[in-house]
Amino acid sequence: MNIPENLRYSRDHEWLLLDDDVATIGITDYAQKSLGDIVYVELPKIGEKFNAHEPCGSVESVKAISEIFTPITGEVIEINEHLNDSPELVNTDPYGKAWMVKLKIRNPDEVNSLMTAAEYEEYLKNTT
């Protein structure tokens, strides 16, 4: 199970990378493995605002669908258009090429309530 050190993690299996006031989010390796072959990714529109833990889109595989929750409050400033044509990137590179949404955030403090890599690893051991 791939769990990069430099990221933060939510209980819903999203990862977050913070750079100043811009947060990049996607779904974790565990999430893509559970879903199977990804066939479609539905992303929010630029400008949409979300509170923490609100559904902002969804990831679909052949047999299942899962909502994407924004781990923190923010406004969508960029979405990854590549996922339209190549949803399989979520399977092959969930932390890199398959980033999903970039948010401009208000409260950097909210990041503290997310799990570290070690905490997420522990969380996975306990729940699965």
Partner 1 sequence: MRYIPNSPEERAEMLKVLGLSSSEELFRSIPEDIRLKRPLKITEPLSEPEVIALMENLASRNSASQRISFLGAGVYSHYSPTIVDYLIQRSEFFTAYTPYQPEVSQGTLQYIFEFQTLVCQLTGMEVANASMYDGSTAMAEAVLMAQRITRRQKVLLAKTVHPEYIEVLRTYTKYTDTEIDFIDFDEETGLIKRDDLSQLSEQTACLVVQSPNFFGIIENLQGLAEEAHSVGALFVVVVTEAISFGLLKTPGEFGADIVVAEAQSFGIPMSFGGPHLGLFATREKFVRQMPGRLAGIAYDKHGNRGFVLTLATREQHIRREKATSNICTNQSLMALAATIYLETMGRRGLQEVAFQNVQKAAYAKRKIKELEGYSIPYSGYTFNEFVVRVPGSAEEILEKLRSEYSIIGGLALSRYFPEMKSDFLICVTETNTKEQIDNLVHCLKELR
Partner 2 sequence: MSIKKVRQHPTQNEPLIFERSQKGRIGYRLPKLDVEETNLDSVIPEDFRRSDDLEGFPEVSEVDVVRHFTRMSTWNYSIDLGMYPLGSCTMKYNSRLNEKVARIPGFTNLHPLAPEEEAQGALELMYRLQQDLAEITGLPGVSLQPAAGAQGEMTGILLIRAFLDKRDGQASRNRRVMLIPDSAHGTNPASAQMAGFTVKTVKSTSEGLTDIEHLKQLCSEGGIAGLMLTNPNTVGIFEKNIKEICKIIHDVGGLVYMDGANMNALVGVARPGDMGVDVIHLNLHKTFSTPHGGGGPGSGPCCCSAELEPFLPVPRIVKEGDKFKLDFNRPNSIGRVKAFYGNFGMMIRALSYIYTHGAEGLKEATEAAVLNARYIAHHLANAFEKPFNSDCMHEVVLSHKKQARKGVHTIDIAKRLIDYGFHPMTIYFPLIVDGAMLIEPTESVGKQDLDAFIDAMKSIAKEAEENPQIVIDAPHTTRIGRLDEATAARKPVLRWKPDMETMTKTA
Segment contacting partner 1 by CB under 8 A, of 20-28, 46-54, 56-64, 103-111 = 56-64
Which residue reads 């799990």 in tokens?
115
39 binds partner 2 per the rule CB under 8 A: yes
Pull the structure tokens for residue 7: 């990221």
User: 1 near 121, Cβ under 8 Å?
Assistant: yes
65 binds partner 1 per the rule CB under 8 A: yes
User: 18 near 9, Cβ under 8 Å?
Assistant: no
**E-assigned strand segments in 1-128:** 8-9, 14-19, 22-27, 38-42, 49-50, 55-61, 65-69, 74-79, 101-105
Segment contacting partner 1 by CB under 8 A, of 6-14, 64-72, 75-83, 112-120 = 64-72
Binding marks (x or -) toward partner 1, 4..43, rule CB under 8 A?
------------------------------------x-x-
The residue among 85 and 109 lying less far from partner 2, judged by its C-beta, is 85
| Minimum gap (Å) between residue 84 Cβ and partner 2 | 10
64 binds partner 1 per the rule CB under 8 A: yes
61 binds partner 2 per the rule CB under 8 A: yes
**Partner from partner 1, partner 2, none contacting 125, C-beta within 5 to 8 A by type:** none
User: 36 near 23, Cβ under 8 Å?
Assistant: no
Which residue reads 């990069």 in tokens?
4
